[in-house]
Structures are given as C-alpha cells and as structure tokens.
Amino acid sequence: MNNDNIFDCIVIGAGVSGIQSALLLAQHNKRVLLLESTLYIGGRARSFIDKQSGDCIDNGQHALMGCYTHFLNILSALKTDSLLHRQSHLSVPFMYSDGHSDILKADVFPGALGVAFGIMNLKKLSLSEKISALYFAIRIRLGFAKSGSLTAFEFLLSENQSAHCIDILWTPIILATLNGHPKEVAASLFVQVLTLAFLGKKDASTLILPKVGLSDLLSPFPDWLAKHNGICKLGELVEEVVFKDKKPSAVLTKSGEIYHSNSIIMAIPPKSIKRIIHKECKEYTFYEALDQYTFSPIISVYLWIDVEFPNIEFAALLGTNTQWVFHKNAFMQNNLSSTLLSCTVSAGNNSIDDEGTSIAIQCLQEIKLCFPSIKHAKLLHWKVIKEKQATFLATPEIENKRHSTYTDIEGLFIAGDWTDTKLPATLEGAAISGYHAANAVLASKSTVFSHS
C-alpha cells in the first residue's frame, strides 16, 4: 500500500462544513485529505466574475453576524477576517413599499438591552405592540418562552404577538435566517436565533458584510492545509466509500484513485451521501433518515442601474416579494462598474420558475417603490441566480429528526448545515457541523489509520 495515499481522515466535500472539519483535524496534527468534486471550495459560499460587467458577485448574498463564532474562527485561521466590514452596533433599515421607512437601531446600550431599546423606537409598531414584543424578548432571554413543536407563527401568536408585529418585525428575521415562512419553520430554531444573535452578548447582533467575494475569504485554505500536512484535491469526484468488515477503509474516486482511511467525514448533501454508500448501508437506520429532508429555494438577484443609490449598506424590504437589498458599492473593497444592488428572495417557491427577466424587472420595480429617489433608474444589466435546494426546510417535524454527525457505522461521520446543529442552515450552522464531525473523529478509536 502506498503510504502517500494513507490518511488519518478523509473529508468528502469542500463546503464550509468540510473546510471546518479538515481545518480542525489539521490543527490537531492529523493528516487530512479533502476531496471536492467541483473546481472550487466553499460550496454555496462562493463568488465568480460576471462576464458582462466584470464585477465579482456571490452565488448568493451572505450577511454574517457577530455570533458566528465558528465561521469567523475559520477566517481568522486563514487570516482573511480583515476582509470583513463590521457594524459597530446592530442597525437595520426597514423600507416599506409605500415609501415610508423605519430603523431598528441598537446603539444606545450594548447587547440585548440595545436591541430591546431599538424595538421600542420602531415607528411602525404601536405602543402596545412594542411592549408585547419587549416582554416576549425578556421571556426568551430568561428561558420562560417554551416553543415545543410549534411553528414560529403559532409560537408568536401564543406569545401575544400581533399579526402586524409578526409581519413587520419577526418575519424578516425568520426569512433571512431560516429561509422559510413563519407558518412553516420550527419555533425552536427561531428561539435559538433570537437567543444567540439578537438577545446575545455585546457584539452578537452586529451584522458583518464581506468586502470581497465569498471565494476570496476561503481561497487561502488549500495552501493552508498543504502547510499543515494535508491535501485538498479539487475536481475529484468520489464514486464510493469502500468498506472492509463493515467499517470504512477507503474511498474510490471517478479518476480511479483509491485513498485509504478508517475515518471518513461526508460533508455533502443527503442525496450525495446515498450515492456513494448505498451498496453497504441500506440496513442501517441512518440511511433511511437521509430521505426525510425537503429543501427551500433562495433567489439572488443582481441589478446594475444607472443612478446612485441612497447612502445605505442594506435594507429589509416590506410589502414586496423582494425581502432584502444590499448596496454593494457601499461596502465592497473593489470599485464596481456601476451601481450594483444585490437582492434576496428567501423561500422563493412562488417565483422560482419565473423567467429571470421578469424576476429582475419586478425586483427593480419593488426597490423603486421602497426608494422613491431612484424611481427613474434604468436597468443596465441583471443576473438572477436560483438555488432550488439552497437550505433544508426546518419544519418542526424535521427539526425533531435532524441527523447527528454520528452514523451507525464506526468511523463514518456526517457534516453539513442540515445536520443536528440546533441552528438554521447558515454559514455558522455549517461551520458548527464541521466542528462536531472533526471532534467526533478525534474521539473515535478509528482516528489513525494503520500505516503498516
């Protein structure tokens, strides 16, 4: 056996969860092989050059938060955390389709108290709605609000939140973090988001925007891994996990290479896992559980327009199909060809089959309603990116059955933002899943492959 092809652990998939797994294992002096079927790392967190404009755009807009501890630790290790634009305090403009505006600003007090004070200053909520929202936040912070198996909508109603308050305050948070509508998603995850982010420590709620393309944040990783006795191979599709005595012993790739390890982390989607292990694992309970997931789409719309945009970095849009707009010129490090807006439609099932042209035109029309100052803007160019399976749909049923990083098979582990992280499918959720998987390998008896 060629010792060059023997590893302490093989990680399949170079998305954020796979990167985190490989990084942590390498930091513990394990020899790691990271295999990625595409020619890029980062999974859905990637960027590319738009051919017509020459501008760098992301596969989908991501906003980080101060509570993204694990993902930010990855960037710190790669020394790319300096490429982030950080808010000094939470500040979220709300723009309405009637041209009115509001802002949730947490600049008076630090942490949860600042967020609470910001809620009390929202103009669109009545005094009774503000008091009810504040009381709800206190109950969440003290652990008194029990979500059970309710949907977020059912839970909010049970906590005396009015339909108006749900629409204006809570729905934008739910759509942005859970990629589902309040009547679909698990209240338990919503509570976790509120607890960790908006009601967490001092800087937990601050928003963080990449000043470069997402790929630039992660691009140093292959070289970093090489310096830590590991290997990252791109364009290497895994055909199957090879088992010996009902335990993983190697992976076989489409190119015919065989790489050996007794510890394998599959940091890929459920369907991809079933493709590479089906011959050996049909008898195990974790195999059937891979079929339980349904997914929710995200539509990302990039609009190049011929006028300057108001001096804001981003805004939540209400009364429109478009939910968020990001003014890329306001925080991107490199000069852009013209005014570039990045817009997001989360849980976009109603629009996912529409033509890109109609989506882009509708998006600009809605932005004009919310920002009357650009009502004469002309569309120079557009790009619509549809991720039909962007995230798992976190219903209460699924949240109670999300898959552990462990399988029934010794030495075989799973990572991904869809696993049981107790978080939505975010960059932080992906990073945490990779962290759990790496620690499971470190604690496993199969950590080190026999080099004999």
Burial class of residue 34 in the structure, from the number of CB atoms within 10 Å of its CB (0-12 exposed, 13-18 middle, 19+ buried): buried
Which band of pLDDT confidence, cut at 50, 70 and 90, is reported for residue 451?
very low
Judge contact between 381 and 52, C-beta under 8 A. Answer: yes
* pLDDT digits 0-9 by tens, 340-394: 999 999 999 999 999 999 999 999 999 999 999 999 999 999 999 999 999 999 9
- Residue 113: predicted pLDDT: 79
Q: Which residues pair with 265 in a beta bridge?
A: 11, 413
Report all structural domains of the chain as residue ranges with CATH numbers, in order of start: 3-41+219-293+395-443 (3.50.50.60), 47-85+208-214+295-392 (3.90.660.10), 112-201 (no CATH)
Does 450 score more than 70 pLDDT?
no
Size of the chain in residues: 452
pTM of the model: 0.94
Task: Give the C-alpha separation, 120 to 103, whole Å.
Answer: 11
Determine the straight-line distance between the first and last CA of the chain, rounded to whole angstroms. Answer: 8
- Residue 433: predicted pLDDT: 98
- Residue 452: predicted pLDDT: 32
Average pLDDT of the chain to the nearest whole number: 93
Does 291 score more than 80 pLDDT?
yes
- Residue 321: predicted pLDDT: 95
Tokens of 87: 């808010």
Does 447 score more than 60 pLDDT?
no
Does 109 score more than 90 pLDDT?
no
Helix, strand counts (H, E) of the chain = 15, 20
Does 95 score more than 60 pLDDT?
yes
Tokens of 134: 């504040």
Residue type, 270: P
- Residue 1: predicted pLDDT: 59
